[in-house]
């Protein structure tokens, strides 16, 4: 029972940290996180569609796959996906609160998001999406999960080059690198 409560707390704290990093620091500069969140951000920037809802809807195919083939990953991720999707849209007003220079926003956004993702992964939960995909790949190939996330996220940021421009992609890649490093440090069990 205590372990289940720890997982729930990890999901709540991780989701809040991730949502603060995203809304408070990346979104004001139209920067991307990687993975499905990055795709959701591109949709948000150009259509106004809510980022959290887009993240949830885009993650459904991967959730279905894991529910069928890896149910333990599904159960450990679905709650995280729901809570982070709600938190991202709930904390969306933060996008107008911290008007910091882009370099500071990249650093703080990367730290907050990396801490949030790392905390969830440390307790074997995630937000679904690429965290879930990275968990599956990490387990299958004995790779560091932070590095797997870094590679996936970097590739997705590069595919957005035509949409958000070179400057935003470069800053996004720096943020994604910071997220990957912080996630690696936090997710690693003692």
Listed by start position, the domains of the chain span 25-90+101-187
Q: Phi and psi for 48 in degrees, rounded to 5?
A: 80, 5
Q: What does the pLDDT read at residue 139? A: 78
Please determine, for residue 35, whether its predicted confidence score (pLDDT) is greater than 60: yes
Per-residue pLDDT band for 115 (boundaries 50, 70, 90) equals: very high
CA distance 177 to 180: 5
CA distance 113 to 183: 8
Diameter of the chain measured on Cα atoms: 48
CA distance 43 to 64: 22
pLDDT (tens digit, 9 = 90+) per residue, 49-86? 999 999 999 999 888 888 887 787 787 788 889 999 99
pLDDT (tens digit, 9 = 90+) per residue, 83-101? 999 999 999 999 999 889 9
Cα R_g (the chain), whole angstroms: 15
Give Cα separations from 2 to 6, 7, 8, 9, 116 (angstroms): 6, 9, 10, 10, 20
SS3 32: coil
Q: Which residues contact 24 (CB under 8 A, 6 or more apart)?
A: 91, 94, 95, 97, 98, 108, 109, 112
Yes or no: say if 126 and 132 are a contact pair by the CB < 8 Å rule. yes
């Amino acid at each position: 029972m205590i372990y289940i409560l720890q997982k729930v707390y990890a999901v709540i704290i991780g989701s809040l940290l991730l949502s603060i990093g995203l809304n408070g620091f990346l979104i004001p500069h139209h920067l991307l996180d990687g993975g499905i969140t990055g795709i959701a951000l591109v949709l948000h920037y150009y259509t106004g569609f809510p980022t959290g809802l887009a993240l949830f809807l885009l993650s459904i195919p991967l959730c279905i796959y894991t529910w069928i083939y890896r149910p333990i990953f599904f159960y450990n991720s679905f709650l995280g996906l729901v809570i982070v999707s709600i938190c991202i849209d709930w904390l969306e007003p933060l996008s107008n609160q911290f008007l910091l220079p882009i370099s500071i926003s990249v650093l703080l956004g990367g730290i907050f998001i990396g801490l949030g993702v790392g905390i969830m992964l440390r307790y074997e939960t995630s937000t679904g999406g690429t965290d879930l995909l990275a968990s599956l790949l990490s387990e299958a190939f004995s790779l560091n999960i932070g590095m797997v996330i870094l590679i996936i996220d970097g590739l997705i940021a590069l595919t957005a080059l035509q949409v958000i421009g070179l400057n935003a992609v470069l800053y996004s890649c720096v943020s994604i690198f910071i997220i990957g490093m912080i996630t690696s440090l936090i997710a690693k069990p003692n």
